[in-house]
Amino acid sequence: MGSLSFRHWPTSASGNVLKYYLYKSTKAVEFYRPIMYLFFLAQGLDFTQIATLEAIYNLTTVFGEIPTGYIGDRIGRRDSLLVGTVLIAATLVGIGFANSFHTLAILYVFWSTGYNFRSGSEDAWLYDTLTDELSESEFARVRGRGESASLAVGAIAAVVGGYLGSLDLSLPWFVAAVVTGVGALVLLTLDEPDTYERADTEELGLERTLGIVKEALSRRNIRALILYYYVLYAAVTYLVFVFLQPIFETVVVDLGVSPGQVESLLGWFYAAYSLFGAVLSYYTGTIRETIGIRVWFLVLPFVVGTALIGMYFVPILALPTFLVARGLADVTRSFAGQYVNDRIGTVGRATVLSAMAMVSGVTVVPFQLGSGVISDLVSPLFALAVAGIVLIVGSGTILFWEVPISNQVSEAR
């Protein structure tokens, strides 16, 4: 397909997609991300407590994905997104006021639950909206441009958040809450897809829902991708984002940067990698047409794994690797969403997509704990090198067993 054009789309369809871009621009995470761990340390938390908060978040994701996906299938995609967005905005305000580990632990449960409500429903809403106009093949392109809008705004937000944090570490959380709240207002103007409205969701009981998930996850053209991407690749690349700040600090200080300048540089670096990700995500459709989803998935794990290993021997390689990592992650997530959506039906779609996120949540916990131990014993760079080896060996093993990307689309709809 050529470049995306609204000229041949009905006004309602193009309007909903434009509102989707606006909603994606209100994610607001970059406001607090550069100062996140500094804020927690300022509240008296130690690194063990911070790691515990991350574990609480992931465990809530694991146990909450399918129930929230099921609710999303029952109440509608838009309403599920609305519930999640309001919950996230309220939680961000709470975190800004929090001053103890126990308060933050409770807020982390609500924070993760908010994202659970959005994780499956967002892609399900977009895919069904595009299906209404027989444009579901545009999913990866539209989603990629939505991520591009989010990252472009995030680049500005990262710089603003860094400066706000220098005034008061609570301010970025409050600003992020306000911007997220704007996203809730945008969601109120969205239409529920006709494809969803016509689907037989009234009789969608929990037993039937679990049956749909089991059937989808057992398909040959999906099961290998689950191991290849949702288990292995997603877990390893998650570690890249976890260790970005300490490795960045080590590398730039070794290059002669004053330790007192690290925080401000992090804000600018987050802005730079958001912009790079925005450009790469904008061209998701072009990448798909030029390279193809199949080739992308077959090559990418080995490129990323090699880069992670190389960082250990040449630490300065961490800077370009981190710069590229965000964009690659978003494009790959869009491709995985396109591939899975093409092979599942409208009924239960949000639940199946939430189940995929749950799989990633389960897998990342042992990766998190293992990398933490290795980092304490050796270094974060060594931990990522080990992760790179696991990614290469694991991907090669899965390819030997079964190629994860088929060229056929099942008749799911």
Q: Transcribe 138-161 into DSSP letters.
A: GHHHHHHHHHHHHHHHHHHHHHHH
pLDDT at 340: 76
- Tens-place pLDDT, residues 242-296: 788 778 888 888 888 887 777 678 778 888 877 887 788 778 888 888 888 888 8
Query: Is the model's pLDDT at 116 over the cut of 60?
Result: yes
Q: What are phi and psi of 311, to 5 degrees?
A: -60, -35
| Residue ranges per structural domain of the chain | 17-194+204-401
Q: Work out the number of other CB atoms within 10 angstroms of the CB of residue 75.
A: 17
* Phi, psi dihedrals of residue 4, rounded to the nearest 5°: -65, 130
Using the predicted structure, report yes or no on whether residue 53 has a pLDDT greater than 90: no
Where does the pLDDT of residue 389 fall: very low under 50, low under 70, confident under 90, or very high at 90 and above? very high
The DSSP letter of residue 130 is: H
CATH number for the domain formed by residue range(s) 17-194+204-401: 1.20.1250.20
Most confident range (mean pLDDT) of 57-61, 218-222, 354-358 is: 57-61
Is 39 a residue whose pLDDT tops 60? yes
* Tokens describing residue 92: 């961000």
CA separation, residue 178 to residues 85, 93, 103, 238, 281 (Å):
11, 9, 21, 27, 25
The pLDDT value given to residue 120: 67
Give buried/exposed letters for 25-62 (b at 16+ CB in 10 A, else e).
bbbbbbbbbbbbeebbeebebeeebbebbebbbbbbbb
Residue 402 confidence (pLDDT) above 90 = no
Look at residue 3 in the predicted model and tell me its pLDDT. 45
Look-up of token digits 């146990």 = 63
End-to-end CA gap in the chain: 21
Does residue 2 carry a pLDDT above 60? no
Contact status, residue 136 vs residue 91, Cβ threshold 8 Å: no
Q: Quick check: 5 pLDDT over 60?
A: no
pLDDT at 150 over 80: yes
Nearest to 251 by CA among 153, 373, 380, 367: 380
pLDDT confidence of residue 11: 45
Using the predicted structure, report yes or no on whether residue 77 has a pLDDT greater than 90: no
Give the SS3 label for residue 382: helix
- Quickly list H helices, 98-205: 101-132, 139-167, 171-187, 194-198
CA distance 328 to 331: 5
- pLDDT of residue 98 exceeding 90, the answer is yes
CA distance 323 to 215: 38
Residue 193 carries which DSSP code?
A: P
pLDDT at residue 9 greater than cutoff 50? no
pLDDT of residue 286: 85
Whole-number percent of the chain with pLDDT over 70: 79
- The pLDDT confidence band at residue 88, using thresholds 50, 70 and 90, is very high
Is residue 92 within 8 Å of residue 179, measured between CB atoms? no
- Estimate the share of the chain in helix, then strand, then coil, as percent rounded to the nearest 5: 80, 0, 20
Query: Rg for the chain (alpha carbons), in Å?
Result: 21
CA distance 206 to 210: 6
Q: Compute the average pLDDT of residues 40-67.
A: 79
Which stretch, 56-60, 218-222, 323-327, has highest mean pLDDT?
56-60
Length of the chain: 413
CB atoms within 10 A of CB 341: 26
Name the packing angle between helices 318-341 and 139-167 (round to 10°). 140
pLDDT: is 269 or 337 the higher one? Answer: 269
pLDDT at 384 (0 to 100): 92
Apex 190 CA angle, 188 and 191, nearest 5: 120
- Confidence label for 181 from pLDDT (cuts 50, 70 and 90): very high
**pTM higher than 0.75:** no
Name the residue among 115, 156, 136, 140 with its Cα closest to residue 330. Answer: 140
Kindly report the average pLDDT of the chain as a whole number.
Answer: 79
- The better pLDDT of the pair 34, 100 is held by 100
Q: Is the pLDDT of residue 201 over 70?
A: no
Does residue 409 surpass a pLDDT of 60? Answer: no
pLDDT at position 6 over 50: no
The share of the chain scoring above pLDDT 90, in percent, equals: 20
Average pLDDT over residues 225-252: 82
